Amino acid sequence: MKRVICLVVFFLGVSMAFAAGSASEENDSLFQYSTINGLLNGFYDGDLDFVTLAANGDLGLGTFNQMDGEMVALDGRFYQIRMDGIAYPVPPGQKTPFAVVTHFDVDQTAVLPGNLDYPGLQRELTRLSVNRNHFYAFRIQGCFTRITVRSVPAQSPPYRPLAEVVKEQAIFQYQDVAGTLVGFYTPDYMKGLNVPGYHLHFLNQDRTRGGHVLALQTGVGKIEIDEVSEIMMSLPHSQAFAAMELARDQGDELEQVEKQ
């Protein structure tokens, strides 16, 4: 019975709009603030507010100053998933130490196959996204047999590396839930700047819960893809960022953070 309800909710769900942008805009650019290596090294206090971020995209992901939870942007609305798993609307003046957004424009649509686990979903996205040297943004709407997501606790200075912070993460597991996956494929040559490969966050259908995706099993749904050929980066101006050594290969730490 729960799965039937999930299907009905998914197909009857109404998408919400927001003044920050429109998914119908022709805009093949991605906007990124700061770098993933900065976040891995404990740069948790950015100077970019969400008014500025929203002007650069209506779909995306990231986090918040003090590393206070996971961020999901969908249809121009921005949400903060804190350690209680609840999705809170983001005040415009709030700031981020790392975020990636785009004005989502659907270039390709495909059916979401059922019974895929997370690696299987990534293989399906790879099959659909043929140019491995371009970026891709994804909006994947549907029902999920199960999904496991996480959030992380707010930090206080002196900040610890992210690999230490995620050891205190809160994990949430949902079954037969309708919602949307939001995220990006980043080419391997961007290693150190962004998360190479796939990075997805989840927001449930009524936009009350979500988080960083760790595992899933797909049900019925739809994959929407936006191929992105341009990227714009904005870097923090703080002395804390200027003092960081960001050239070191941190692939092992990143894998630990993304999959833990």
Per-10-residue mean pLDDT of the chain, 260 residues long, equals: 52 38 59 97 98 98 98 98 98 97 98 98 97 98 98 97 96 98 97 96 98 97 98 97 92 76
Q: What pLDDT is stored for residue 4 in this prediction?
A: 45
* Structural domains for the chain: 2-13+26-259 (3.30.1330.80)
Whether pTM > 0.75 for this model: the answer is yes
Task: Give the β-pairing of 77-81 and 135-151.
Answer: unpaired
Q: What is the pLDDT at residue 16?
A: 33
Given this model, what pLDDT does residue 223 score? 98
Q: What does the alpha-carbon distance between residue 99 and residue 137 come to, in Å, rounded to a whole number?
A: 14
Supply the pLDDT for residue 218: 98
In total, the chain counts a number of residues equal to: 260
Q: Tell me the three-class secondary structure of the chain, residue by residue.
A: CHHHHHHHHHHHCCCCCCCCCCCCCCCCEEEEECCHHHHHCCCCCCCEEHHHHHHCCCEEEEECHHHCCEEEEECCEEEEECCCCEEEECCCCCEECCEEEECCCCCEEEECCCCCEHHHHHHHHHHHCCCCCCEEEEEEEEEEEEEEEEECCCCCCCCCCHHHHHHHCEEEEEEEEEEEEEEEEECHHHECCECCEEEEEEEECCCCEEEEEEEEEEEEEEEEEEEECEEEEECCCCHHHHCCCCCCCCHHHHHHHHHC
pLDDT of residue 246: 93
Question: Which has the closest alpha carbon to 98: 119, 71, 125, 78?
Answer: 71
Beta-ladder partners of 48: 96
Q: How far is it, in rounded angstroms, from Cα 164 to Cα 105?
A: 36
Q: Report the C-alpha gap between 132 and 107 in whole angstroms.
A: 16
pLDDT of residue 250: 81
